[in-house]
Chains A and B, each alone.
Chain A
Amino acid sequence: MNNNETTDLLRVRDLKLHFRVKSGAVQAVDGVNFDLPKNQATVILGESGCGKSSLAKAILRLLPKNVDHYSGEVFLNNQDIMKLSDEQFRKDIRWQRIAMVPQAALNSLNPVMRVGDQVAEPILLDGKLTKKEAMELALEKFDQVGVPADFLYRYAFELSGGMRQRVAIAMSLITEPEMVLLDEPTSALDVLTQANIMNLLKRFKAEKKASFILITHDIATSSELADNVAVMYAGQVVEVSDAHNFFTEPLHPYSKALMDSVPRLYGEMQPDFISGQPPSLLKPPTGCRFADRCPARFERCSDEPPVFNMSDGRKVKCWLHESDSVSAESNPDTWEEMYAKS
């Protein structure tokens, strides 16, 4: 594992988050690795129920009450923030350094507080600014995201869906955090509003306001913002790639299937769908988790594949790429096996 000092803003290593339910432990995030370089956008792609939103929760340590297992390393500017106490994490990390734009901005604003007060809330916590100064800053952010100034004194129910999402983005930028986690920020919006919001995010990325992690199932919109892509399947990252290579030629069979499911405006290709269902995260299959639905399945797939490093820096967790890879990162399970053998 590569733990050297890097210039990456965020490095996630072997992050695990399991939930306890009646019938066992749901392995929603199960050993996730990925990096986010400074001032770039990493897109986390995957279908519903593959653990994308749980990953966002795991990074921000927003854990539900039924957590069974929560471990791994999350480096923010080479500092392992998993080691911080809950109180320190709340004070120093949440919103000060990592902010978030939630999936359903429609529901993520308090219905009985004025929108401006909610946006200014995080910068008022440490008591360094007066209410007036904070509102001044909130107004500045409203300008940047294109929300009219008088909306500061309105309530969430008076705003349209797109406006609420803009407010949520203004709120995420108010502390000028190093990193913003966008959890499906556009999936509840109509196409036109979606495009507006994406343009806004692209502008912020170009202005180097923050680095973004965009969690989405929407390949088409994500391609506009992405510098890097990480594909998640059944709680694991199966492919990490730069955006250009990924969108031209994905490596993992699951990524290919995902790309094939996108309808094209031109060309003969018909959209294809992936047969079957994602596996239950209660008892995930022992070998490759995609094997049951994989068209390219062969004997090796009953063993869990390691992550193969490709010559162009891409990473893929699939036996098909064993031969053309440069090296393989052993996953911890394999280490244990090797240990047992020796």
Chain B
Amino acid sequence: MAVAPIEPSKELADVEQASTKARNDTVFRLSKYILRRILAAIATVTVGVYLTVLIANMGGALDDIRRAVIQEEIANFVAIQALEDPALKAMSQEQRNEMVAQQVALAEKRFGLDQPFAIRSFRALGSAMTLNLGFADNMTSDSGSRLIRNIILERLPATLVLMGTGLLMLFFLTLFGGLALSRRYGSWLDKAIIGLAPTSAAPSWFYALFFIVIFAALLNWLPFGGMVSAPPPETTWGYAKSLAFHMIIPVGAIVINAVFSGIYSQRTFFLAFASEDYVDMAKAKGLPDNLVERRYILRPTLPPIITSFAFVLLALWGGSIVLETVMNWPGLGNTYGQAIGQFDTAVIISLTVLDAYLLTFTLLILDIMYAIVDPRVRVGEGSSGR
């Protein structure tokens, strides 16, 4: 190619200027889009949480049960007290009934049960939306608090550290493993991974049990469960070491559980995108392989990759009920399991509301990320051309 000295033309400057203006327009449109998304997300959460409140209270039927329980508890209490208390003994049956009725009315007022359910449901919605989660029915946090917020906040870090390590490891392993495998399409490694993909049929706790039998019981290399050794090490470094040591089995179980099927599906996904015409075109243009991979395979597939990452984050918050129970891990999944076992509806509802919030929030972030990453969403169809 003959390289002649190129003088900057006025035209290109003009076009650049126009493009900057267009970009400003885009920013404006993008802000409008994001604002609309936020409003939609708030509406979605409100409706979802209100439905949860309605369902959890059985459409108000739970109030009748509560009233009956209060009535019975107070009547029983008064009846038992009457055996010993001379003042109560002296009362006539009518007087006693009247006193019970007064006590019941007071208790109902205290719990807000004197209001109709329609009003109470909106009050519940308000406190749920502001994450004013209230008290657990019968669970307590490890520090003895009955505040649901304390129960959750106490357990959250344990789940985040376990699921975060496991799921992020899994995500990047499958992403880059899939990309590497799509290059070796048809090789023995490819066939081996495809052959191993059905191992994901077994859940992660199944592998955890297996690893416990092998590495803890038989070989005695790793601890059976828990988060740190007892008593917990004093130094930060010692604590981190003990934590990492206890994480090997559960993290290994999370990774082994899904890594092969994950690599398989990512490999198939990249293979489909690698046969696009523009990838061939990039190769014909003489681009080196790593540039083709980055600009023409990874970049256009970013939106679906972000989606799967978002769902990884979502799974991360919830924890895994059975795995945490098997590994005796003091996380949110474990708490969820305990709450179900103890019929603690307040905790179950709180965790559900929290999940709804996280799901909507994740989807909102996803929408915004899409808009930034994909010009087809950002610029919007119909702005020109066609």
A100 to chain B, nearest CB (A): 5
Cβ–Cβ contact B384 & A137, under 8 A = no
Residues of B in contact (CB 8 Å), total 44
Please, which residues of chain A bring their CB within 8 A of the CB of B40? none
Cβ–Cβ contact B277 & A112, under 8 A = no
Cβ–Cβ contact B284 & A60, under 8 A = yes
Cβ–Cβ contact A153 & B285, under 8 A = no
B267 to chain A, nearest CB (A): 13
Cβ–Cβ contact A153 & B15, under 8 A = yes
Interface string of B262-285 (1 = CB under 8 A from A): 000000000000001110111111
- Asked whether A136 is an interface residue with its Cβ less than 8 Å from the other chain, the reply is yes
CA distance A125 to B11 in the complex (A): 24
A81 to chain B, nearest CB (A): 13
Cβ–Cβ contact B376 & A111, under 8 A = yes
Cβ–Cβ contact A110 & B381, under 8 A = no
CA distance A204 to B45 in the complex (A): 61
Cβ–Cβ contact B278 & A136, under 8 A = no
Cβ–Cβ contact B376 & A107, under 8 A = no
- Asked whether A96 is an interface residue with its Cβ less than 8 Å from the other chain, the reply is yes
CA distance A139 to B9 in the complex (A): 10
Cβ–Cβ contact B15 & A102, under 8 A = no
Q: A128-B3, A175-B1 are in contact. Are A159 and B385 (CB under 8 A)?
A: yes
Interface string of A123-137 (1 = CB under 8 A from B): 101001100110111
Which of B2, B285, B383 counts the most chain A CB atoms within 10 A? B285
Selected from B11, B373, B375, B381, the residue in CB contact (under 8 A) with A149 is B11
Cβ–Cβ contact A112 & B385, under 8 A = no
- Asked whether B386 is an interface residue with its Cβ less than 8 Å from the other chain, the reply is yes
Cβ–Cβ contact B9 & A136, under 8 A = yes
B23 to chain A, nearest CB (A): 8
Interface string of B173-205 (1 = CB under 8 A from A): 000000000000110000000000000000000
CA distance A123 to B287 in the complex (A): 10
- Asked whether B144 is an interface residue with its Cβ less than 8 Å from the other chain, the reply is no
Indicate the size class of the contact surface on chain A: 35 or more
CA distance A113 to B291 in the complex (A): 13
Cβ–Cβ contact B287 & A121, under 8 A = yes
Interface string of A155-185 (1 = CB under 8 A from B): 1011110010000000100011000000000
Cβ–Cβ contact B376 & A155, under 8 A = yes
- Asked whether A200 is an interface residue with its Cβ less than 8 Å from the other chain, the reply is no
- Asked whether B19 is an interface residue with its Cβ less than 8 Å from the other chain, the reply is yes
Selected from A93, A113, A175, the residue in CB contact (under 8 A) with B295 is A113
Cβ–Cβ contact B11 & A139, under 8 A = yes
Interface string of A237-257 (1 = CB under 8 A from B): 000000000000000000000
Please, which residues of chain B bring their CB within 8 A of the CB of A202? none
Cβ–Cβ contact A136 & B299, under 8 A = no
Selected from A112, A132, A133, A150, the residue in CB contact (under 8 A) with B300 is A112
Cβ–Cβ contact A122 & B295, under 8 A = no
Cβ–Cβ contact B8 & A136, under 8 A = yes
B residues engaging A (CB < 8 A)? 1-3, 6-9, 11-12, 14-16, 18-19, 22, 185-186, 276-278, 280-288, 295-296, 299-300, 302, 373-376, 379, 381, 383-386
Given contacts A60-B284, A107-B278, A139-B11, 17 further A-B contacts (CB under 8 A): A62-B284, A65-B185, A102-B277, A102-B280, A110-B300, A111-B278, A111-B300, A112-B302, A123-B1, A135-B12, A139-B15, A150-B19, A153-B15, A154-B385, A155-B376, A157-B381, A158-B384
Of all A-B residue pairs in the complex, the 8 with the closest CB atoms, nearest first, are: A94-B286, A153-B19, A107-B277, A158-B385, A108-B281, A108-B277, A133-B6, A95-B286
